[in-house]
Amino acid sequence: MNKVLILLFCLLPVVSYAGVAKDLAEDPVLEKRMVKLAQDLRCLVCQNESLASSRSELANDLRQEVREQMQKGMSDQEIIDYLVARYGDYVLFDPPVKSYTLLLWYGPFALLLIGLIGLVFQLRNRKTKISEPHLSDEDAKRAADLLNT
Amino acid sequence: MMRFIWPFVIFVVLAGFLYVGLHLNPREVPSPLIGKPAPAFNLAQLHDPSKRFTAEEMKGQVWLLNVWASWCVSCRVEHPVLMALSRQNIVPIYGLDYKDKREAGLAWLQEGGNPYVLSASDTDGRIGIDYGVYGVPETYVIDKEGVIRYKQIGPVTQQSLHEKILPLVAELKAK
């Protein structure tokens, strides 16, 4: 009798199956889309982390927000606009080209150009500075003697 | 002599940039909401959840919206400053209890004093998202037309109060 009871108790977990919390990856396609979008967005709390990888509370909320908006059928661009309207361009890891980001975008090329111009000038200068030294016959003979000894 | 001029100039420029950088706060993200209408909300009041509080009803007044929470450590730093400000009756302070349990929020105000005319409960943090809140405490100065004029990220200090917030409030009130 006892053994039967024990056996029954062992089976209890099978019956007492609790409702599992709704999995966020319920819709894997949507989840994938959310993660892809969130990878290009910056978490405002841990600023060098993306919204996709951050564990902060706000990132959690924002991911949920993004999910819900996707469910509502909003496009990626609409969602980005929504976030930018609230947190500014700062949420974008890829800052848009604007008047005040010109230096950021084209500064490196400008530096490269300056470097190239500097290099060209330097090389031209060198050409004029380094001329073949002209040896007189006497000097050539001395040099030859020195080298032969 | 001349050959040392250019490296020196570059050094000075670079050092200048780095020196300025030392005094910048990378945690302060300029809000795109400055100059825009304060996002509308309709939330239950913290002390009496049967009553609502909307941003709409503040039209015609200059007011401060202070985002706080009982779990927020820096809010404790800010609290005495807000208490002192509320006693001066210069500008009404309204609270937004951000992602907080009602009991915890009430207990916190009980303990430290309540500088707010009233607080609204933003339990799920939705309104916080609309206001671009990312680090509590944050304080918004909102003008008579309901436009956000200034956002203080992090605790309000005596310095920020006297240098930024109060002059701005006086200016907005005179309009």
Mean pLDDT of A109-133: 89
Domain assignment present for B14 = no
The answer to whether A84 and B32 are in contact (CB under 8 A) is yes
Residue B44: CATH number of its domain: 3.40.30.10
**Per residue in B75-115, pLDDT tens?**
999 999 999 999 999 999 999 999 999 999 999 999 989 99
Reduced 3-state DSSP string for chain A: CHHHHHHHHHHHHHHCCCCCCCCHHHCHHHHHHHHHHHCCEECCCCCCCECCCCCCHHHHHHHHHHHHHHHCCCCHHHHHHHHHHHHCHHHECCCCCCHHHHHHHHHHHHHHHHHHHHHHHHHHHHHHHCCCCCCCHHHHHHHHHHHHC
Give the DSSP H or E segment for B83: helix B73-88
Q: How confident is the model at residue A12 (pLDDT cuts 50, 70, 90)?
A: low
pLDDT at B44: 94
Mean pLDDT of B13-19: 95
**Per residue in B124-149, pLDDT tens?**
999 999 999 998 899 999 999 999 99
Q: Do B134 and A65 touch (CB under 8 A)?
A: no
Residue that wins the pLDDT comparison between A13 and A99: A99
Domain assignment present for B27 = no
pLDDT at A108: 95
Domain assignment present for B38 = yes
Mean pLDDT of A94-114: 91
Q: Do B30 and A88 touch (CB under 8 A)?
A: yes
CB proximity list for A118: less than 8 A, separation 6 or greater: none
pLDDT at A21: 46
pLDDT at B66: 96
Q: Looking at the predicted complex, does its ipTM rise above 0.85?
A: no
Q: Do A45 and B135 touch (CB under 8 A)?
A: yes
Domain assignment present for B22 = no
How many domains does the structure of chain B reveal?
Answer: 1
Q: How confident is the model at residue A3 (pLDDT cuts 50, 70, 90)?
A: confident
Total beta-carbon pairs less than 8 A apart between chain A and chain B: 36
Domain assignment present for B149 = yes
- Kindly state whether A90 is in contact with chain B, defined as any CB-CB distance less than 8 angstroms: yes
Distance of CA A127 to the CA centre of its chain: 44
Partners of B98 in beta bridges: B122
Nearest CA to B30 out of A86, A103, A45, A4 is that of A86
Q: Is the pLDDT of residue A97 over 70?
A: yes
- Kindly state whether B10 is in contact with chain A, defined as any CB-CB distance less than 8 angstroms: no
Reduced 3-state DSSP string for B9-36: HHHHHHHHHHHHHHCCCCCCCCCCCCCC
Q: How confident is the model at residue A25 (pLDDT cuts 50, 70, 90)?
A: low
Interface residue of A43, A64, A87, A100 to substitute, partner B, most B CBs within 10 Å: A87
pLDDT at B136: 87
Interface residue of A44, A48, A86 to substitute, partner B, most B CBs within 10 Å: A86
Q: Is B89 exposed, middle or buried (0-12, 13-18, 19+ CB in 10 A)?
A: exposed
Mean pLDDT of B153-163: 93
Q: Kindly report whether the global pTM for this prediction surpasses the value 0.90.
A: no
